[in-house]
Structure 1
Amino acid sequence: MSLKKHPAMGVACAAVIITLLVYLRALSCDFVNWDDPDYVLNNELIRSLNWQFLVTIFTSIPYDFYIPLTTLSLAIDYHFWGMNPLGYHLTNILFHGANAGLLVLLAARLLAFTPFSESVPVRSKLYTATLLLAGLLFALHPLRVESVAWVTERKDVLNGFFVLLALLSYAGYSRKRLAGEGFWCREYVLTFVFFACSLMAKPSSIVVPLLLLLLDRYPLGRMTRTALPALLLEKVPFFLCAAATVPATMVRFAELDTFHSPGFFPLWIRVIVTGNALFEYFRLTFFPVGILPYYDLPLAIPRIFIVKTAAVLLFLAGATYWGRRQRWVPLALWSFIISLVPVLPFLGNGASIALAARYTYLPSLIPAILIAGQFATYVAKAWADGRQLAARLVCGGTLLVLLAYGGVTLQLIGVWQNAGAMWSRVIASHPFDRAYFYRGLFHVETGDYAAAVADYTACLDLFAQESRPEVYNLYAFRGEALALAGRYGEAVADFDRAIALFPHRLYYYQRGMALRKLGRLTEAERDLQRAGRASGQMTWFPAGTPLE
Structure 2
Amino acid sequence: MTIKRPVSIAMAVVPIVCLLLYLPALQCGFVTLDDPDYVLNNLLIRRLDRDMLVASFSQAHIGWWMPLTWISLAIDYHFWGIEPFGYHLTNIVLHAVNAGVVVLIADRLLRGTVAKEEPGWHYPAMLILAGLLFGMHPLRVESVAWVTERKDVLNGLFSFGAILCYLRYAERKESGSDGAGVAYCAALALFALSLMAKSASVVLPAMLLVLDWYPLARGRQGAWGRLVVEKLPFFALAAAMSAITIYFTRESQYLVSLDQFPLWDRFIVSGNAIIAYIRYLIVPVGILPFYMIPDPIPVGYIITSVVAVMLCVMLLWGGRRHPAVAATWLLFLLPLLPVLAFFQNGDQSYAARFTYLPSVVPSVMAASVIAGGYRKAAAGGMVRGRMIAAAAILLAVFYAGMTVRLISVWKDPESIWTRVIEVAPEVISYKERGKLYYVGGRYTEAAADFTAAIKIATGTFQSSIFNLYAFRGEAYRSAGRFDAAVQDFSTAISLFPHPSYYYHRALSLKALGRMKEAEEDLTRAGAENGPLGWYEKGEG
Fold match by TM threshold 0.5: yes
State how far apart, in whole Å, the 1-side matches of 2:451 and 2:240 are: 46
The aligned residue for residue 438 of structure 1 is: 432
2:22 matches 1:23: yes
AA of the residue aligned to 1:413: I
Identify if the C-alpha distance between structure 1 residues 411 and 499 changes in structure 2 by more than 3 Å, giving closer, same or farther.
same
Post-superposition CA distance 1:421-451 (Å, at most 9, x none): 2112211222211111111122123321211
Q: In structure 2, what is the equivalent of residue 353 of structure 1?
A: 348
C-alpha distance in 1, partners of 2:85/2:184?
37
Q: Residue 394 of structure 1 aligns to which amino acid in structure 2? A: I
Alpha-carbon distance between aligned partners in 1 of 2:206 and 2:335, rounded to the nearest angstrom? 9
After TM superposition, the structure 1 = structure 2 runs for residues 246-257 of structure 1, keeping only pairs within 5 Å, are: 246-254=242-250, 255-256=252-253
CA distances 1:201-251 after superposition (whole Å, capped 9, x unpaired):
211111101111111112222223432222111211211211122233334
Cα 1:485/1:91, change in 2 over 3 Å: farther
What's the CA shift string for 1:151-204, capped at 9, x where partnerless? 222221111111111111111211221122589722222211211111122111
1:389 is aligned to 2:383 = yes
Is contact 2:168-2:180 (8 Å) kept? Answer: no
- What is the match of residue 146 of structure 2? 150
Aligned residue for 1:52?
51
> 2:113 maps to what in 1?
115
Following superposition, the deviation at residue 520 of structure 1 comes to 7.3
Q: Equivalent residue of 2:349, what SS?
A: strand
Does structure 1 conserve the Cα–Cα contact (< 8 Å) formed by 2:172 and 2:180?
no
- Superposition deviation, residue 72 in structure 1: 2.0
Q: 8 Å contact 1:260–1:348 — kept in the other structure?
A: no
Same amino acid, percent of matched pairs: 42
Q: How far apart, CA to CA, are the structure 2 residues paired with 1:208 and 1:30?
A: 33
Q: CA deviation at 1:360?
A: 1.0
Residues 11, 132 of structure 1: 8 Å contact kept: yes
Alpha-carbon RMSD: 3.1
Shift of residue 495, structure 1, vs aligned partner: 5.2
Deviation, structure 1 residue 57: 2.1
The answer to whether 1:92 aligns with 2:91 is yes
Q: 1: CA distance between counterparts of 2:355 and 2:97?
A: 18
C-alpha offsets along residues 285-326 of structure 1, whole Å, 9 cap, x if unaligned?
111112122222222333333333343344345434654344
Note the C-alpha offset of 1:540.
Answer: 3.7
Q: 1:459 matched to which residue of 2?
A: 453
Cα pair distance change 1:490/1:250, threshold 3 Å: farther
Distance 2:504 2:467 in 1: 13
Instruction: Kindly indicate whether the alpha-carbon contact (under 8 Å) linking 1:173 and 1:185 is maintained by their aligned counterparts in 2.
Output: yes
* Structure 1 stretch displaced more, 198-207 or 37-46: 37-46
CA distance 1:118–1:317, shift in 2 (3 Å): farther
- How far apart, CA to CA, are the structure 2 residues paired with 1:197 and 1:510? 51
Structure 2: how far apart are the matches of 1:40 and 1:521? 45
**Residues 1:525 and 1:187: Cα distance change in structure 2 (over 3 Å):** farther
SS of equivalent to 1:158: helix
Q: 1:509 to 1:130 in 2, by over 3 A?
A: same
Q: Is the 8 A contact 2:500 2:525 kept in 1?
A: no
Does residue 277 (structure 1) correspond to residue 276 (structure 2)? The answer is no
Local SS of the residue matching 1:185: helix
For 2:46 and 2:327, locate their aligned partners in 1 and report how far apart those are by CA, in whole Å: 43
* Alignment partner, residue 447 of structure 1: 441
Aligned to 1:71: 70
Partner of 1:416: 410
**Which residue of 2 is the match for residue 204 of structure 1?**
200
Offset at residue 53 of structure 1 (A): 2.2
Higher mean alpha-carbon deviation, 389-398 vs 243-252, is at: 243-252
What is the CA-CA distance between 1:467 and the residue it aligns to? Answer: 6.2
Deviation larger for 254-263 or 450-459 = 254-263
Question: Does the aligned pair in 2 maintain the 1:512–1:527 contact within 8 Å?
Answer: yes
Contact 2:505/2:521 (8 A) holds in 1: no
Amino acid at match of 2:450: Y
User: Is the Cα–Cα contact under 8 Å of residues 166 and 191 in structure 1 kept in the other structure?
Assistant: yes
Deviates more, 1:66-75 or 1:196-205: 66-75
Which amino acid is 1:414 matched to?
Answer: S
Q: Are residues 73 and 483 of structure 1, via their aligned partners in 2, closer, same or farther at CA, if it must alter by over 3 Å? A: farther
Tell me the equivalent position of 2:100: 101
Paired positions, count: 535
Alignment of 1:135-174 (within 5 A): 135-174=131-170
Residues 393 and 342 of structure 1: is their aligned pair in 2 closer, same or farther, counting only changes over 3 Å?
Answer: same
Distance 1:497 1:263, change over 3 A: closer
Equivalent in the alignment of 1:241: 237
Q: Which residue of 2 aligns with 1:373?
A: 368
Amino acid at match of 1:128: P
Report the Cα distance in structure 2 between the residues aligned to 1:524 and 1:106, rounded to whole angstroms: 72
Determine which of 333, 339, 343 is the counterpart of 2:339: 343
* Pair 1:298–1:217, CA change in 2 (3 A): same
Is the alpha carbon distance of 1:264 and 1:163 closer, same or farther for their aligned partners in structure 2, counting shifts above 3 Å? closer
Give runs of aligned pairs for residues 260-299 of structure 1, distance below 5 A: 260-261=257-258, 264-267=261-264, 269-299=265-295
Could you list the per-position Cα deviations for residues 363-404 of structure 1 after superposition, in whole angstroms to 9, with x for gaps in the alignment? 001111122223334434554x45433322221211111111
The match for 1:404 is 398
| 1:330 and 2:329 aligned | no
CA contact (8 A) 1:512 1:528 kept: no
Structure 2 distance, partners of 1:230, 1:480, is 67
- How many Å separate the matches in 1 of 2:306 and 2:506? 57
Cα shift readout 1:88-109 (whole Å, capped 9, x = no counterpart): 2222111111111111122122
| The one of 220, 224, 227 aligned to 2:216 | 220
Q: 1:364 aligns with which of 359, 362, 368?
A: 359
User: Match of 2:295, SS?
Assistant: coil
What amino acid is the match of 2:114?
F
Aligned equivalent of 1:81: 80
Gaps of 5+ in 1: none
Query: What is the one-letter code of the residue matched to 2:262?
Result: F
1:474 equivalent to 2:486? Answer no
CA contact (8 A) 2:295 2:459 kept: no
